[in-house]
Amino acid sequence: MTDKHAKLIEEYIQQGWQVFPLRPNSKEPTGKWKDQKATLETLPTLFKPDSNIGVALGTASGGLIDLDFDSSEASAIGNILFDMLPGFGRKSSPCSHRIALCDDPGKTTQFGLTPEEAALTGLHGDDKAMILELRSTGGYTMFPGSIHPTGESIEWLSELPKQIPSVKWADMEKKAGICAFLAIVLKKYPAQAGNRDNICLALAGTLLRMGMPPEQVDRLIVFIAESKGDEEAQARLKAESTKGKLDAGEDVTGLPTLCDLLGIAELEPKLQKWLKSTSHRKSPDEMVAELNEKYFVVGNDGGSCRVVFFEKRHFENDQVREIMVYQSFSDFKNFMMNKRVTVGEFESGIPKTVPLGKFWLEHSDRREYDQIDFLPGKTPPPTIFNLWRGFQYPSVQGGWCKMRRHIWTVLADEDSEAFRYIIKWSAWAVQNPDRPAEVALVFKGGKGTGKGTFARWLTDLFGSHGLQIFSSKHVSGRFNAHLRALVLLFADEAVAPQDHDAESVLKGLITEHILPIEAKGRDLIQARNHLHVVMASNNSWVVPASADERRYAVFDVSGKVSGNKDWFKGINDEMRHGGAEAMMHFLQNLDLKKWHPREDIPANSALNGQRIESLKGLDLLWFGYLSTGDVPIGEPCDDGFRIPTREFAKEANTHHPNDTKAGKILKEMGCRQDRNRRPSGWITPSLKEARRIWDSKRFRAEWNADITAWIRDLEPPF
């Protein structure tokens, strides 16, 4: 017997443990081990130089208990759950045992699997696959100082402490069950991407229900994920958010879902026993009810019968909106293929399960509707699914004076007519979410002036039915399903008037009562238009406004508060703390009588500016003559000029001059035709008369008061 060998045995005896010899390189005792107990005096005669060392467990050794990890997965998990306990093992399994002292040791508890269960998990054994044992009274363990039957030395991880940690048996048994359970999870965790995130969510729910602290839950989840090569392991930290949902009483997945995802549904009863879990597998009716909360079947939408659900989509500026998603029955069943519902038992007692997707689709209580419609503020018959989800904020009387001051000072530029129109338009939108406004609010101004501050909060009032866009693709793109359930569309620098496709679609969004809607992979359908459009831009030309324009109410935004951070902070703070609710209350209760946005559109310089920017061709050329009082191609005649028809046509369109159109415009603008000279031409009326005719035929312009007559002499006056 070596000195080291003898010293270890002496330390065990001094701990008060029952120590006895085992056969060399073996776990078998040399005799009736329960009757053998070495003392310092009998040690030399009881132990041979090559004897292995056995230590009795439980009451025979003062409550000594041993966690024997029989699988590498259990040992790896044990290094986290039991890292405070002394451990030992051999080179190929350096920490296959952990020991502790227990005042109330129970009976040895084994966590093992039958051969069939072992095959299901990937663990194998001739009789049964033992994952770990919590060993106590009536058993013994081969301790360090021995040689394992494989020939490896059994060593302590570090020196044996003089004070062995004390534990409660119930706590150890519970943690041992968790360890065995997690060993199976580690074995079954997928090496390839797929359901990893859902697995981690269900695992977090299971462990949190066991009372495990969130930080330890995350540590275990990350360890399991990293051990299986999950490159997104750090993104699997689910404990804090899951605990928040549990604390709030929300539904959180747990052991039943986890077993389904790992393909070990048959093991759930055993795992529940190991975990002493209070969770239960949902009944078929409960699972149908759960799916009904998210999914439904629509009999006819665009000519097809589909499964429908809502999915959160992210738009610009951190906006999140729920978008309706369609799935065919086959796609839905494929998506649900890894989820099963227990519908009975086989004769052997093993649960009989069927695919959940197929079960739900065939169930008489599945949620279903004949059709889908968007009916803001209305209650449809039970056969119609209404996409309307209501406003984002409740209506609560209160103050929102800072936002109103912003509308007055910045958006209306302290103009009473503009202020009243903006407020009434907004109130009409809130009070009539089911009808298109037919007029768009347009705010034009420099960067940082605050033209979008009000529009963003107004959009937010409508919740999922309001959307801020920054790209014309969300207006003129082929797939526009996001418009189907929209009430407020804020186009922020999204549409340029030169974009003719977007311009054409935008006009339809503003005024048409029916919209063509096309979702990806779906047939085109016709849907009612409910849009109220707000636009904002830094450009001088924002909208294509015709001479008799009634689609746009345009406002030049003031730059008075540009760059004033305190101004905007005050507005946003107010709106976040009751202002939004107060604004909602005011707009909902403003008495509009029979007012409509098409009434009283301010005929201001901002709208005229858009009309001028939108002029083209012959109209643009003639307006230029009226503005400057000069006709470069004309010859002075009477009180005006004689304009050759062909020259006028060429000035407007060099490549494709049209004499007929040129003559028609000149006649409409009060010119009289001169057939007495060649080439054919037209004689203008006086500048005053020509401007009067323009104002009556096109729009009232703000003419230069310093120019009152045609400039007929371009020579300097000296």
What mean pLDDT do residues 456-472 have? 88
Q: Which residues contact 598 (CB under 8 A, 6 or more apart)?
A: 438, 439, 550
- β-strand partners of 156: 88
Given pLDDT bands bounded at 50, 70 and 90, which one contains residue 429? Answer: very high
- Do 438 and 515 fall into the same domain? yes
pLDDT tens across 341-359, in order?
888 766 655 557 788 999 9
- Do 542 and 651 fall into the same domain? no
Helix ranges (DSSP H) in 399-548? 401-406, 416-431, 451-461, 473-476, 500-511
Residue 455 lies in a domain: yes
φ, ψ at 116 (rounded to 5°) = -65, -40
Lowest mean pLDDT among 93-102, 503-512, 628-637: 503-512
- Do 72 and 34 fall into the same domain? yes
Given pLDDT bands bounded at 50, 70 and 90, which one contains residue 608? Answer: confident
What mean pLDDT do residues 671-687 have? 91
- Do 647 and 500 fall into the same domain? no
- Do 104 and 247 fall into the same domain? no
- Do 644 and 628 fall into the same domain? yes
CA-closest candidate to residue 468, choices 484, 455, 454, 449: 455
- Do 55 and 156 fall into the same domain? yes
φ, ψ at 635 (rounded to 5°) = -115, 125
E strands, 538-634, are: 552-556
Is residue 414 within 8 Å of 408, Cβ to Cβ?
Answer: yes
Given pLDDT bands bounded at 50, 70 and 90, which one contains residue 18? Answer: very high
Three-class DSSP category at 45: helix
pLDDT of residue 718: 42
Q: How far, in Å, CA of 497 to CA of 252, rounded?
A: 50
What mean pLDDT do residues 703-710 have? 90
pLDDT of residue 713: 57
CA-closest candidate to residue 482, choices 500, 455, 504, 509: 509
Is residue 358 within 8 Å of 334, Cβ to Cβ?
Answer: no
CA-closest candidate to residue 87, choices 74, 100, 102, 104: 100
Q: How far, in Å, CA of 562 to CA of 386, rounded?
A: 42
Residue 710 lies in a domain: no
Residue 225: give the domain boundaries. 189-281
Instruction: State how beta strands 340-345 and 351-355 pair.
Output: antiparallel
Q: Which residues contact 73 (CB under 8 A, 6 or more apart)?
A: 131, 182, 183, 184, 186, 187
Residue 395 lies in a domain: no
Is residue 355 within 8 Å of 333, Cβ to Cβ?
Answer: yes
pLDDT of residue 166: 93
We report the CATH number of the domain holding residue 553 as 3.40.50
User: Which of 231, 264, 281 is the C-terminal boundary of a domain?
Assistant: 281
Residue 495 lies in a domain: yes
pLDDT of residue 538: 84
- Do 145 and 39 fall into the same domain? yes
CA 317 to chain CA centroid, nearest Å = 13
Is residue 619 within 8 Å of 698, Cβ to Cβ?
Answer: yes
Helix ranges (DSSP H) in 615-717? 617-628, 645-652, 659-668, 687-697
Residue 381 lies in a domain: no
User: Which of 171, 206, 238 is the C-terminal boundary of a domain?
Assistant: 171
φ, ψ at 567 (rounded to 5°) = -60, -50
Place of tokens 């946005």: 597
We report the CATH number of the domain holding residue 69 as 3.30.2250
pLDDT of residue 457: 95
H helix or E strand, kind and range, residue 312: strand 304-315
Give the mean pLDDT of the chain.
Answer: 87
Residue 705 lies in a domain: no
Residue 290 lies in a domain: yes
Residue 684 lies in a domain: yes
pLDDT of residue 547: 57
pLDDT tens across 280-324, in order?
457 899 899 999 999 999 998 777 899 999 887 766 555 667 778
The tokens for 27 are 């776990």
Structurally, the chain folds into a number of domains equal to: 5
- Do 24 and 152 fall into the same domain? yes
The tokens for 661 are 């159109």
pLDDT of residue 406: 96
Given pLDDT bands bounded at 50, 70 and 90, which one contains residue 23? Answer: very high
- β-strand partners of 635: 642
pLDDT of residue 126: 46
pLDDT of residue 494: 65
- Do 413 and 537 fall into the same domain? yes
User: Which of 606, 628, 654 is the C-terminal boundary of a domain?
Assistant: 606
- Do 575 and 628 fall into the same domain? no
Q: What is the CA radius of gyration of the chain?
A: 41
- Do 577 and 648 fall into the same domain? no
Q: How many residues does the chain have?
A: 718
Say if residue 480's pLDDT is above 90: no
Among residues of the chain, what percentage have pLDDT more than 90?
57
Q: How far, in Å, CA of 579 to CA of 602, rounded?
A: 28
We report the CATH number of the domain holding residue 629 as 1.10.10
E strands, 429-551, are: 440-444, 466-469, 488-492, 514-517, 525-528, 532-537
Say if residue 680's pLDDT is above 60: yes
